[in-house]
Chain A
């Protein structure tokens, strides 16, 4: 059973557009991470959020952890082709990570 649901599953947009990816659960997590994975490579950690309501910015990427620590969002401003990849969220609880199914993003030039 997937504890983390990501939406949308697929997203194809033009360069310069904004987008938001969602990661939802009915479970509370002590921390949540976002990763980006490119084809043929392992996921790369983008950010870890720990506190409910926390917002972190990484250049054009904004990450938010829900107040109840059950959900998170990733917003990309002015997407670029280099943002193309599979975005994964992962919640951490009781010495285990639970990964979402991922959002495959394609940014067309």
Chain B
């Protein structure tokens, strides 16, 4: 079956702009989680969606938001971009019960803010 698909793979944005990233989970997976990965901070949890509802949220400012659609596809949005938002953004899906089998990650979206 197809893996987790993230688009776009690479993105360059200017400070102050906003960006939307997309994630299509593995068919049948209802949970989608988003992570930010940077060399200094490692993998930082952003949020998790399950059946269109945000179930968990990490410690990120309100500029970071997300949503999940009825087909389990998810988007995350970052508004008023800052240089420090440059990172690899990873989407991960899992099948219920959540956590038992671990995540399947996408290849990520590399965001560069200039």
Interface string of A9-49 (1 = CB under 8 A from B): 00000000000000000000011010100001111110010
Contact, CB under 8 Å: A44 / B43: no
| Bound-state Cα–Cα, A96 to B43, Å | 13
Among B14-22, B66-74, B78-86, B104-112, the stretch that binds chain A is B104-112
Q: Which residues of B contact A48 (CB under 8 A)?
A: 100-102
Interface residues of B in 85-103 (CB under 8 A from A): 90, 92, 98-103
Q: Which residues of B contact A101 (CB under 8 A)?
A: 42
Which of the four size classes fits the interface of chain A? Answer: 20 to 34
Residue among B4, B48, B56, B102 making CB contact with A90, cutoff 8 Å:
B102
Contact, CB under 8 Å: B102 / A33: yes
Q: Which residues of B contact A44 (CB under 8 A)?
A: 105
Q: Which residues of A contact B64 (CB under 8 A)?
A: none
What's the nearest-Cβ distance from chain B to residue A93, in Å? 8
In the complex, which of the residues A50, A92, A101, A102 has the most CB atoms of chain B within 10 Å of its own CB atom? A92
A-B contact count (CB 8 A): 60
Contact, CB under 8 Å: A97 / B104: no
Majority SS of interface residues in chain B?
strand
Interface residues of A in 54-109 (CB under 8 A from B): 88, 90, 92, 95-97, 99-102
Contact, CB under 8 Å: B99 / A30: yes
Interface residues of A (CB under 8 A from B): 2, 30-31, 33, 35, 40-45, 48, 50, 88, 90, 92, 95-97, 99-102
Interface residues of B (CB under 8 A from A): 4, 33, 35, 42-43, 45, 48, 55-56, 90, 92, 98-108, 110
Could you list some 29 contacts between A and B, CB below 8 A?
A31-B99, A33-B103, A35-B102, A40-B107, A40-B108, A41-B108, A42-B4, A42-B106, A43-B103, A44-B105, A45-B102, A48-B101, A48-B102, A50-B100, A88-B43, A95-B48, A95-B55, A95-B99, A96-B56, A97-B45, A97-B99, A97-B103, A99-B42, A99-B43, A99-B45, A100-B42, A101-B42, A102-B42, A102-B43
